[in-house]
Amino acid sequence: SMALTDITKKVYDELLGGDRSNYHIPPTKEAVAQSLISFENSHKPDDLWHFVTPDFQKLNIWLQLQSGDNKDMSQVVRSVKTYIENNPPPFDIRYRWAGKTYINVVWQNNMVVGMMKNFLGSFVIVWVMMLILFKSPLKALISMIPLSVTILFIYSLLGLFGKDYDMPVAVLSALTLGLSIDFAIHFIQRSIEIYGNKKNWAQTAEEMFKGPGRAIIRNALVVAIGFLPLLAAPLIPYKTVGFFMFMIMAVSSIATLIILPSLITWISDAIFKPKSKGAK
C-alpha cells in the first residue's frame, strides 16, 4: 500500500539522515508540513496531489495487488471492512473504493446478479409461452422438463468442478432456455400430430423415433460438435462457451428423447385425451 503517511515518513526519515529509527510520522505539525513541502520541491511536485486533495480533507490510499482477479479484490474489500469494524477509528471516517479492479468487481456483480434474476424471470415467461402454444398446463409443464434437467445438470457440473457463475456463464444462461426448450417443442408438437392419426401412443412413439427423433439427434450432434473446437482456444471464455454449448445440446437432446417418451407413456391418456364435444 502507499499513502500520504508513507510519503511523510520517508521524507522525514531522509531529512534526518536516513536512519531507519526516524521512519515514522513527525511528532509536530510543523515537521509534517516541512516534510510535505520538501516533497513538493522534488522533481515531481504534482505527485503529492495523487494522494491528497489540495485542502488536505480527502486522502487516497493506493493498494497494489499482485493480480487483477476480481476474487482477490473482493477479498481485500471484505478484509478492510472487517478490520475497520473490529478496530473503529477515534473519529468518523468515510471511505469509498475506486480503481479499475474495483469497477470490474461492481460491474460483474451487477451483471451477474441481474442476469440471474432475468434468467429466473425468463424461465417463467417460457412456461407461459408453452402454455399459449400447447393450450394445456400439463403439456406446458412437461415441455419444461428437458429444460429443467439441462439447467440442473449443467450448473451442478459447473459447481462440481468449482467453476464460478461468471460473465460468460451468465450470458450463456439465456441460450440454455432457448436451445433446451426447442427440442421439447418439436417432440411434443409432432407427437400430437402423429397421435391424431395413429390414435395409439405405442405406434406414435415408434413413428416419432423414425423421423423427428432422428432429426433431433442429428441437429444436436451437428451443433454440439461444431462448438468443440472452442475447447482448444487459448482464452478461458472461449473454452467456457464451447463446453457450455456442447453440454446444452447433448443434455437437452438426451433428456428430450429419454425422459419425455417415458413420461408420456406413463400419462399418455391425460396428455392425448380427446376434446369434449362442446369444445371448438
φ, ψ of residue 52 to 5 degrees: the values are -155, 150
**Are residues 126 and 9 part of one domain?**
no
∠ CA 187-191-194, nearest 5°, is: 140
Question: Both 182 and 253 in a single domain?
Answer: yes
Say whether both 193 and 229 belong to one domain: yes
- Reading phi first (left if > 0) and then psi (alpha if -120 to 50, else beta), residue 25 is in beta
Q: Are residues 158 and 250 in the same domain?
A: yes
Predicted local distance difference test score (pLDDT) of residue 274: 61
Torsion sign (Cα): 74, 75, 80, 82 = positive
The answer to whether residues 122 and 255 belong to one domain is yes
| 102: in domain | no
Last residue of a domain, one of 86, 102, 126: 86
What local confidence, expressed as pLDDT, does residue 277 receive?
46
CA–CA gap between residue 135 and residue 141 (Å, rounded): 11
pLDDT digits (tens, 9 = 90+) for 257-271: 998 888 888 887 877
* CATH number, domain containing residue 196: 1.20.1640.10
Whether residue 143 sits in one domain with residue 240: yes
Whether residue 206 is contained in a domain is answered as yes
Same domain assignment for residues 150 and 215: yes
- CA distances to 74, 193, 217, 229 from 268, in Å: 52, 14, 23, 41
Question: Is residue 77 domain-shared with residue 138, that is, in the same domain?
Answer: no
- 79 and 148 in a single domain? The answer is no
Residue segments in the chain with a per-residue pLDDT below the cut of 50: 276-280
- pTM (2 d.p.): 0.61
Residue 275 pLDDT: 55
Has residue 104 been placed in a domain? Answer: no
Helix (H) or strand (E) segment spanning residue 181: helix 167-198
- Is residue 96 situated within a structural domain? no
Into how many domains does the chain fold?
A: 2
Assess whether 144 and 61 both reside in one domain.
no
**Residues 40-70: tens digit of each pLDDT:** 887 677 888 888 888 888 888 888 888 877 7
Torsion angle, CA of 245/249/251/252, rounded to 10 degrees? 120
Q: Where are the alpha helices (DSSP H) in 59-166?
A: 70-86, 100-134, 137-160
Q: 31: domain range?
A: 4-86
Q: What is the pLDDT of residue 82?
A: 92
